[in-house]
Amino acid sequence: MAALPAGQRAPDFTLPTVEGKKVSLHSALTKGPVVLVFFKINCPVCQYALPFLERLHRAHHGEKVTVLGISQNNRSDTLKFTREYGVSFPVALDDPANYAVSNAFGLTHVPTVFYVAPRGEIEISSVSWSKADIEAIHGKLAEQHKQDPAPLWRKGEEIADFRAG
């Protein structure tokens, strides 16, 4: 499963958000690290992963970090999905006619999550659902803010270690 690997520079992009604004990677990186979450609404693994990525967002909300979803669907379908799955982090729209940003990041499967350091380098590249990769991203964010990471998983909750996208 290919995607840009850790150690590569993340390609800059500007995309419209579901709210009708514009967002660019360059601008988001000026605030701190960026967690990019590529997804498609009809992907069962995306449906599984996005609520956990919402927890990651909430755990670091208000800190100098951006969690940014990038949907491969149209605006209205994406809005329905974000409401249904409780996604409150910003979501941008990759053009379904050509998936220019998804292609620039080398996506072949969704979900794909990238942790991009403020200098623009990809430090974590995670294809499909990987509990260990999400924990690593959570740890990096906590480390950056010099705090212990709050638990992402609830007591007694069974979280799959891996689910192929």
Domain spans in the chain, listed from the N-terminal domain onward: 24-146
pLDDT at 1 over 70: no
- CATH homologous superfamily, domain 24-146: Glutaredoxin (3.40.30.10)
Burial 148-158 (b: 16+ CB within 10 A, else e): ebeebeeeeee
- Which helix (H) or strand (E) covers residue 69, if one does? strand 66-71
For the chain, percent of residues with pLDDT exceeding 90: 90
Note the pLDDT of residue 144. 83
Query: What phi and psi, each to the nearest 5 degrees, are found at residue 94?
Result: -85, 135
The answer to whether residues 125 and 3 touch, using CB atoms and an 8 Å cutoff, is yes
Identify the CA nearest to 21 among candidates 64, 67, 75, 60. Answer: 75
Residue given tokens 């979900």 in the structure block: 111
Model pTM score:
0.96
Confidence of residue 150 (pLDDT cuts 50, 70, 90): confident
